[in-house]
Amino acid sequence: MDQARFARVYSGTYLLCTSPEDPRKSLSFTTGVISPEDLLRVSQGKEQLSLDNITLCKIEKTDRNPWKRHISIGRAPNNDVVIRHHSVSKLHAHIRYATYQGTAPDEPTPLLLEDAGSANGTLMGAQPLDPGVAVIIRDGSQVTFGEVTCEVLEAPSLFVALRSLDP
């Protein structure tokens, strides 16, 4: 599958997370986990690839949720994105869609990241976020929740990232 088709089929924004532990033991996502192995197979036509420290999550809610533009991240099971790691607070951060549209007509509505007063903080790159202050997340941004590091990727960038994981 080429990058353009991959972007059409898997459109959206994703968190590609690296955990300091086995992610099957520490990370889970109530929005549903998309296996990097499955996406690699689709994008490259390859068999199983071992990615023990990587977890992939699409940033979205179900259609049944009335707060569709607000995604909660934390250790507690009632969050949209549940990161079960000791360094992540029960309610660690929020990702939400900005209330304004981008400058160009075809530009997507920006995503905003806000720390919810977490104990171990949220970083955007190397910059700690002040609790309650929202910052724009851009494609390729690195975000750290406690000790769990994630990349925020749009589908075309995800395609490139997954291909770079191929040993």
DSSP 167: -
Q: Return mean pLDDT, the chain.
A: 78
* CB-based contact 111:137 (threshold 8 Å): yes
In this prediction, residue 152 carries a pLDDT of 94
In this prediction, residue 48 carries a pLDDT of 34
Q: Has this prediction a pTM greater than 0.95? A: no
Give the chain's domains with CATH numbers. Answer: 3-164 (2.60.200.20)
In this prediction, residue 129 carries a pLDDT of 97
What are the 10-residue block averages of pLDDT along the chain, 167 residues in total? 89 84 50 55 43 73 68 86 86 86 64 95 96 94 94 92 76
In this structure, what token pair is assigned to residue 81? 């994105």
In this prediction, residue 131 carries a pLDDT of 96
